[in-house]
Structure 1
Amino acid sequence: MVFEPKKIMFMKRNFLMLFVLGLFVLLACNKEDNDSTTTSANEESSITLLKSATESVPADQVAFTIKTAGFAGEYLYLSMSYLGKTKPHQFNVVWDGILKTENEKTVIELSVSHLTNDDLSTILAYDSLATHFSSLNINETVLQNPELWIRVNNTTDASNTLSFKYQSNSTIGSPPTDGGSGYPLTGVEMKVFKAECSNVGIWGDLWLSSNNGDVINYYVVNDKDASVNYTVKENDRLLIDFEYFYPKDTVKIDACRQLYDLNARSVKITKLKVIN
Structure 2
Amino acid sequence: MDDNGQRHALRTVFDATAEKYERTRPVFPPRLFDDLVKCSGLTAGDRVVEIGCGTGQATVPLAERGLDITAVDPGAELAAIARRRLAKFAAARVLTTSFEDWNPRDAPFDAVVAVNSLHWIDPLRRYAKPSELLREGGAMIVGSCRWARPVDADRFWTDVQEDYRAVGYTGEPPLPPEQIGPWHFPAEAGPFFEETACLRHPFTVRYSAEDYLAILATQSGTYALGAARSAEFLSRVRDRLESLGSPELTVSFVGQVTVGRRRTRP
Give the TM-score category using the shorter length. Answer: under 0.3
User: Which is richer in helix?
Assistant: 2
Taking structure 1 as the reference length, the TM-score comes to: 0.25
Specify the structure having the higher radius of gyration (Cα).
Answer: 1
Q: Could you say which structure has the greater relative contact order, defined with CA pairs below 8 angstroms and 6 or more residues apart?
A: 2
Taking structure 2 as the reference length, the TM-score comes to: 0.25
